Amino acid sequence: MTLDFPPAVRAALARGLTAAFGVTEPDSIVALGGGLSGAGVFRIRVGGITYLLRLDQARDGFRDPARSYACMRIAAAGLLAPRVRYADAEDGVAIMDFIDERPLSLEYRGTPEHLVVEAAQTVRALHAGPPFPPLVDYLDGIDALVAQFQARGLVTPAAMAELLERYRGLRERYRTDPADLVASHNDLNPRNILYDGARLWLIDWESAFLADRYVDLACVANLFARTPAHEDLLLATYFGAVDETRRARLQVMRQVNHLFYGLVMANAVGDQQPASDLTGRSLDELHAALTLGEPVLDSEAGRFSYVKARLSAALEGLRAPQFAEALAAVGY
């Protein structure tokens, strides 16, 4: 191996490689860029075949390999995630088949409508499978992220006041229907949806737990459903039919999804002078730049611009007249 791991990690990796392949070291190992989870992600070769190695050494109330590996195994058994060759939660070592990823935005073999349908079918298959372990009510989790964000002070209280007031109105009225609690990925961002030239794969199950089905549907809608017609296509593919309650729940959760990603991305931004407003490049502009290969998220300034764009999108959505109508349709 060319990477220097602590002795305990080397021993844990050797146990995994022995169990999976009968060797103690890979032929080669290369570190890959990961997301915000803090896990180590590597491309390894064993016996001339490429695999993905994930090292989850951090532990806290949220980062729990016992839960995330259980979810990953369920998804892999349903052929929605890459095959799991080895996963030991105590050691924090997982080895999966490697997906040779193609750029989804550039090489997808189909129309935007085809992509909406395929994404909806993928999520529907996940939700129809065995339930994931529970963790927390999803909106309780958002509340915790809001408190963490406020404590950081990245945006002045005045600039966040209207957004948080409107979110509190949502929080008071929206309740998950118990029938909507499903095996939810909860973080279907572009880095966690892989395209191999033929189909979609879902990866990175750290955020997965039993949650409202509209969490994943909102993630997909905010990525791929650019028009009301696309939104209806998503719902019709997933449910088989569209009704006003389903439209309303999706509309509400789409704003929560924007808020979620703004709050989570803030964890990748260091301390700085608090922003006095949420102005800047729009979310559509940033997504277009990312599609064209602009390294938007590679700098702290770029990540902070993304935080503000997501929060601004949430505020815009919460202000919209159709949001008030949607919340009234599903509120308690």
Provide the edge-to-edge strand list for the sheet that holds 84-88. 28-32, 40-46, 49-55, 93-97, 84-88
pLDDT given at position 105: 82
Query: What is the residue-wise DSSP string for 62-89?
Result: S--HHHHHHHHHHHHHTTSSPPEEEEET
pLDDT given at position 298: 85
Kind and range of the H or E run holding 194:
strand 193-195
pLDDT tens per residue across span 49-83:
999 999 998 777 788 999 999 999 999 999 999 99
Positions of the chain with pLDDT under 70: 1-3, 34-38
Strand partners, 193: 202
pLDDT given at position 2: 56
Q: How far apart are CA 111 and CA 117, in angstroms?
A: 10
Q: Show me where the domains of the chain are located.
A: 7-97, 104-330
Check: CB of residue 317 under 8 Å from CB of residue 255: yes
pLDDT tens per residue across span 143-189:
999 999 999 999 999 999 999 999 999 999 999 999 999 999 999 98
Query: What is the residue-wise DSSP string for 141-166?
Result: HHHHHHHHHHHHTSB-HHHHHHHHHH
Q: So what CATH class is 104-330?
A: alpha beta
7-97: CATH number: 3.30.200.20
Q: Which residues touch 316 (CB under 8 Å, ≥6 apart)?
A: none
pLDDT given at position 144: 95
Check: CB of residue 83 under 8 Å from CB of residue 94: no
Q: How far apart are CA 186 and CA 145, in angstroms?
A: 14
Check: CB of residue 251 under 8 Å from CB of residue 214: no
